[in-house]
Amino acid sequence: MVVRRFSVKQVVEKTGLEESEVRFYETTFREFLSFTRLEPDHNEFNEDQIDILIRIKDLIQKRGFAVDEVKRELKSLLKKGGEKSAPARPESYARVIAVTSGKGGVGKTTLVVNLAVALARKRKKVAIFDADLGLANVHILMGVKPQFNLSHLIQDGFALEDVIATGPLGIQILSGGQGIRELANLREEERRTLLRQLDKLERTVEYLLVDTGAGISENVLRFASFADEIIVITTPNVVAAADAYSIIKILLSMEPNAKIGLVTNEVGNMYHSKNVFNRINTTTEKYLDYSLGDLGYIESDEYVRAANQLRKPLLLSFPDSSAALSIKRITETILNDKVFINMRKESSFQDLMGAVRRTMAGAGV
């Protein structure tokens, strides 16, 4: 069997890591990356080592794990690798879906709230993390008045369960708070603390929806790349579409293995939506060599604004409206395992166990 070899430059492209980060991981986690030599000019890596580097990056940069915690996680995976019934992914973790946009006011929060309702109606355990820090409004559209918010979690040391509010159908809500300017500019250590708490939340639900802020701030990009899948929402507006492409470009540079789908809001019909999708996707394929997932569209509907004024999700206040039916179709698409699942992340658990075993045994090196 021929073992493929990759240069450091290729590893950087495949993992999204800087070369200095690759070298740091190579040294720090050498027991899981059993290279035959660790000289500074060592330039050859195999596919198993790349898989491990991607998992280490995910644990450190997205979940906020410390080095010792990463090592314990990898050892746990190695131990589970001997079990015959090892799952493709830890069953205790939720599917994390981030909803983001390049431009504000395109219906991002409305989609998140009603997507959560649609999933809950299918008897899924759902939580929403309102990551539009300092400008959070998920709780408003849900008709909920949380007693505590993210500032109490990060700044006051409250336990996660103490700041979670419960919305309709048992949907859990972690509010980012309103009018709290400090939350909009979290320090790296604060962001890591939050990601640790989200890791706990992931173990209690089946779906965790992340409503990011709009734009390309560090918080928006980090929380979006934290997810298994990313939904970018736009409208037919030329500026909104251009901004959607911009954030897709940045997210792919941060996370080459991202799974990104597009939802077009405020369109007249399917053909109108297809026009918008094709325009953005053609540009993405041409310049980024990436094909977006077409997750569907939401029709322009006066009932959306009416539901927001009532502070009650559209699917609960006007369930038969055209926009509500559109969101139900989007939900079915998201639930379809053959359409919008990040297969690399879903399969990485089992693949990683084999990769760790092989590299520790020195196979293929």
In tens, the pLDDT along 308-334 reads: 999 999 999 999 999 999 999 999 999
Structure tokens at 341: 């699942």
Which residues, at least 6 apart from 355, have a Cβ–Cβ distance to it below 8 Å? 47, 48, 49, 51, 52
Please tell me the number of Cα atoms within 13 Å of 147 on its side-chain side: 7
- CA nearest 55: which of 33, 80, 84, 27? 33
Of the candidates 277, 265, 314, 357, the residue with the CA atom closest to the CA atom of residue 116: 314
Residues 203-257: pLDDT tens digits? Answer: 889 999 999 877 777 767 777 877 889 999 999 999 999 999 999 999 998 888 8
To the nearest whole number, what is the mean pLDDT of the chain? 81
Mean pLDDT, residues 25-43 taken together: 66
What number is the average pLDDT over the span 160-166?
Answer: 87
Q: Give the whole-angstrom CA distance, residue 264 versus residue 276.
A: 7
